[in-house]
Amino acid sequence: MIRLVGITKRYGETEALRDVSLEIKKGDVFAIIGSSGAGKTTLLRIISMLETDYSGEYYLNDIDVRKNQEDLRKRITMVFQKPVMFNTSVFDNVAYGLRIRGLSSREVESRVNSVLELVGLYELRKKNAKKLSGGEQQRVALARALVLETEVLVLDEPTANLDAGNVQMIEAIIKEITDDGVTVVMATHNLFQAKRLANMVAYLNSGELVEVGSVKQIFESPEKEMTKRFIMGETYF
Amino acid sequence: MTWEYVLKGIEGAFEMIASLDVEVADIALRSIKVSGIATLMAAIIGIPTGVALGISTFRGRNVLRSFFNGMLGIPTVVMGLILYLILAPAGPLGSLKLLYTEMGISFGQMLLILPIVVSFTASSIESVEREIRELALTLGASRAEATLKVIREASAGVLLAVIAAFNRAIAELGIALMVGGNIFVRGGALNTRVLTTSIQMYVARGDIDIAIALGMILLGIVFVITTVSNFLQSRWVLK
Amino acid sequence: MKRVLVAILLIVFVISIAWVLQVQHQNQTRVLTISTTTSLYDTGLLEEAIAPAFKEKYGIELHFIPKGTGAAIQDAKNGASDAIMVHARSKEVKFMEEGYGVNRKIFAYNFFVIVGPPEDPAEIKGLSPVEALKKIAEAGRSGKAIWVSRDDGSGTNTKEKALWKMAGFDYVEVKEENWFRRTGTGMGATLNYANNVGGYTLSDTGTYLKFRKDGLISLEALVDKGEELINIYAIIIVNPEKFQKDFEGAILLAKWLTSREGQKIIGQFGVDQYDKPLFFPIVSVLEKKEEPIYDWILRYGLIEDGDKLTECPQRYRYQSSLTFFEVNQT
């Protein structure tokens, strides 16, 4: 479904990503692990087509993304690490993407309400989203992306800085949708989370892709020494 | 002695308002009208400019931004003097016949407050620009739709910019005096006396209590406008 | 997007309406813009007495722009006004010499006063103006008195400079001394300052009487006699060859100011409030040759023109129905 070939991204002198190639299949829950500054977010932003200035090739369903950016962007949506809220009600936040797509107001209402039920925010739908707690905002952000029913969902550290209750709730939601066959690409520094949710894992270090494999392979018998050290270090910690 | 003035002034202000003193009402309304028009003009020129500066990244943007920032604090007397020389019949724009007219004051105040509208609009756009644009884009918006969303999200800040601009316009003296001339003829259609110029005139004439009363009215206008805008803004956020 | 467009159109509409209305008023109303001095303006004579009467008679609105005499002349030079009403002969002559002004008419006079604290530390009460200034300078240099000057190029300031010269002082030098304070502002503010520091100053009668009556100052008029203190107001019309202004209207005003009706209004202004006039009509003095004022006006208000003294020399007259006072020099 997603194929990246030799992606290199520079910010001035520094290389955020160097020659990254990988493939993500339909229905995968693909976790990108690595310490902070490894380039996880940059990679996700390229996949989400928010970053356009890079070298290399990117195909979505064999269509060249670099030539069709504007059309293809509607097929992928990303949930940012730090939730950004529009200064409107929870309902209007979630409805935004649907309205952009020109859905009828009846359809918007029913889809938004059902997603809000899913993330447990139906009661708060009339409240201004900026007045919610961090955990609630992260759930709004998730609902806002889910409601679009895009082919690919990109999540950047979906549970960073949240309390245990919210982490559990959000992980349960992710679990539920991935069971429905949605393709998910997520970045996380939490190895347990990757283990719990993903079927594929990629280890990124200093902008270079070290190893890609199934959860089982990466966590139980990594090929590279570097991957092993990262897994061990994190696990002991 | 000073306190006596203030008390007498407050008393006088209430008396003037209670008795609906025609002359005072005329002057106060002219202040609102002249500065209101200045604010409207500054808004239709300044908001698009501010939005453009806040959104785009063209070459020279920073120069323009610092230019408008620098103009924020320009002394009104300097502005008044420059405008006087430009608008005087012997000056480059003398043929517009704006010197010593209401529209002349509006025009001058517009130039005075334009930097406020531009800079505040640009900063409120900038403060939401990146986050909101990317959010809108990833939710499927086109580039134009994302820009529109950015502007909408910044609108509370833009409202604040416009209110701040109006308050500066109505409270300034230099332009109203030098370009307006504080003209007053009973029943005249071309008067230019506004609150600030009449305050300075009454001070010069030694009628301190009237000056203070007019000052109270000016403060009242600014206070009401600010309160209303705060209310609107809180509604905006809380909705 | 639509709403934004509607809002913009609405705003443009409102602004254009305001502009059109103003232009319409400008075209409908005949207006004379007169740059004038603060001492005339701040008493209220112009706006409360002259403007309403003139408007009633001719339907012309008078717009007065109060500035110091220097600034008022500058205003006219910028083409902003139809005429000036000022009180500084030397500057008036220069204004006409440069070709900006024509047809000078004198229309009122009063007296400057030297005011000071009631204790009068320099002991000037009853002295002649020149003697008084000498005493004040003496007391000032020994730290007993303060002189407050407007130093703003106004008519009052011009008179003050002339008085210092008569007393044998160079204004440029004396103003740097530490007993000599400069406010650089209008008469009212200067009186307030002099009152606060217990200083002496030169004031026009109108402003002084008003401030005194309103209880704003406790300064007393210590020297109010002497021909040197005479203060003569003149109107000068902007040269129609310099700027396209309402020359005819300005002529009308100059004529009316020196007419029986205008002179009466000037002479009566302020009598109700202050029990004495703030300004005196000048025409009757010239006609009846009332001494000693007549002589003082000749000396301080007229201009030499060959072997004659006149309010406006021949070369500064511009075709009009005005007549000018002339007298042979003796």
Same domain for C31 and C85, yes or no, is: yes
pLDDT beneath 50, residues of chain C: none
What distance in Å separates residue C186's CA from the closest CA in chain B?
7
Q: Which residues contact A7 (CB under 8 A, 6 or more apart)?
A: A17, A19, A20, A21, A43, A46, A54, A55, A56, A57, A58
Same domain for C154 and C221, yes or no, is: yes
Please judge whether C28 and B189 are an interchain contact, meaning their C-beta atoms are less than 8 angstroms apart.
yes
Domain for residue C1, yes or no? Answer: no
| Full DSSP string of C201-243 | EEEEHHHHHHHHHTTS---EEEE--SGGGEEEEEEEEEPTTTS
Q: Give residue C275's pLDDT.
A: 85
**Residue for token pair 């902003």:** C80
How confident is the model over A45-82, as pLDDT tens digits? 999 999 999 999 999 999 999 888 888 999 999 999 99
> Residue B184: helix, strand or coil by DSSP?
coil
Chain B partners within 8 Å of C99 (Cβ): none
Which residues are bridge partners to A5 per DSSP? A57
Task: Report yes or no on chains C and A touching (3+ CB pairs under 8 A).
Answer: no
Same domain for C125 and C185, yes or no, is: yes
How confident is the model over C73-94, as pLDDT tens digits? 999 999 999 999 999 999 999 9
- C1 shares contact with chain B (CB less than 8 Å): yes
CATH of the domain at A219: 3.40.50.300
How confident is the model over C200-211, as pLDDT tens digits? 999 998 889 888
Same domain for C248 and C101, yes or no, is: yes
Which residues of chain C form beta strands (DSSP E)?
30-37, 60-67, 83-86, 101-116, 147-149, 180-182, 200-204, 220-223, 230-238, 280-281, 303-305, 308-310, 326-328
Residues 89-148 of C with CB under 8 A from B: none
Stretch A79-103: mean pLDDT, rounded? 94
Q: Give residue B236's pLDDT.
A: 63
Please judge whether C14 and B148 are an interchain contact, meaning their C-beta atoms are less than 8 angstroms apart.
no
Same domain for C124 and C224, yes or no, is: yes
Domain boundary among C179, C196, C229: C229
- A78 shares contact with chain B (CB less than 8 Å): yes
Chain C partners within 8 Å of B207 (Cβ): 214
pLDDT band (50, 70, 90) for residue A237? very low
Same domain for C247 and C309, yes or no, is: yes
Same domain for C132 and C225, yes or no, is: yes
**Is the Cβ–Cβ distance between B233 and B159 less than 8 Å?**
yes
Indicate the number of domains in chain B: 1
- B232 shares contact with chain A (CB less than 8 Å): no
User: Beta A63-64 vs A55-60: how paired, if at all?
Assistant: antiparallel
How confident is the model over C194-253, as pLDDT tens digits? 999 999 999 998 889 888 888 889 999 999 988 999 999 999 999 999 998 999 999 999
Chain A partners within 8 Å of B135 (Cβ): 80, 84, 86
Same domain for C95 and C239, yes or no, is: yes
Indicate the number of domains in chain A: 1
Q: What is the CA radius of gyration of chain C?
A: 22
Same domain for C125 and C218, yes or no, is: yes
Same domain for C195 and C274, yes or no, is: no
Domain for residue B79, yes or no? Answer: yes
- B138 shares contact with chain A (CB less than 8 Å): yes
Domain for residue C4, yes or no? Answer: no
CA distance A207 to A213: 18
Chain A partners within 8 Å of B239 (Cβ): 88-89, 128
Q: Give residue A124's pLDDT.
A: 95
**Is the Cβ–Cβ distance between A45 and A77 less than 8 Å?**
no
**Is the Cβ–Cβ distance between C265 and C258 less than 8 Å?**
no
> Residue C177: helix, strand or coil by DSSP?
coil
Please judge whether A145 and B136 are an interchain contact, meaning their C-beta atoms are less than 8 angstroms apart.
no
- A86 shares contact with chain B (CB less than 8 Å): yes
Q: Give residue B237's pLDDT.
A: 54
CATH of the domain at B59: 1.10.3720.10
CA-based nearest residue in chain B for residue A76: B138
What distance in Å separates residue A218's CA from the closest CA in chain B?
31
Same domain for C263 and C317, yes or no, is: yes
Q: Give residue C180's pLDDT.
A: 95
Q: Give residue C199's pLDDT.
A: 95
Indicate the number of domains in chain C: 2
Domain for residue C168, yes or no? Answer: yes
Domain that holds residue C275: 9-110+232-328
**Is the Cβ–Cβ distance between A151 and A76 less than 8 Å?**
yes
Q: What is the CA radius of gyration of chain A?
A: 18
Helix-helix angle B102-138:B143-153, to 10 degrees: 120
Please judge whether B184 and C47 are an interchain contact, meaning their C-beta atoms are less than 8 angstroms apart.
yes
> Could you give the ipTM of this predicted complex?
0.92
Q: Give residue B239's pLDDT.
A: 41
Same domain for C105 and C236, yes or no, is: yes
Q: Which residues contact A225 (CB under 8 A, 6 or more apart)?
A: none
Domain for residue B117, yes or no? Answer: yes
Residue A158 has a CB neighbour count (10 Å cut-off) of: 28
Task: Report yes or no on chains A and B touching (3+ CB pairs under 8 A).
Answer: yes
Please judge whether C12 and B203 are an interchain contact, meaning their C-beta atoms are less than 8 angstroms apart.
no
pLDDT at A189 over 90: no
Please judge whether A148 and B139 are an interchain contact, meaning their C-beta atoms are less than 8 angstroms apart.
yes
CATH of the domain at C209: 3.40.190.10
Q: Which of B178, B185, B192, B212 to mutate to test the interface with C (most CBs of C within 10 A)?
A: B185
CA distance B202 to B37: 26
What distance in Å separates residue A94's CA from the closest CA in chain B?
10
Domain that holds residue B182: 2-233
* Residue B118, token pair as written in the block: 């531009």
Domain for residue B238, yes or no? Answer: no
- The series of mean pLDDT values per 10 residues for chain B, 239 residues long, is 72 77 89 96 95 87 92 92 93 92 96 96 92 95 92 89 95 95 87 94 82 90 91 66
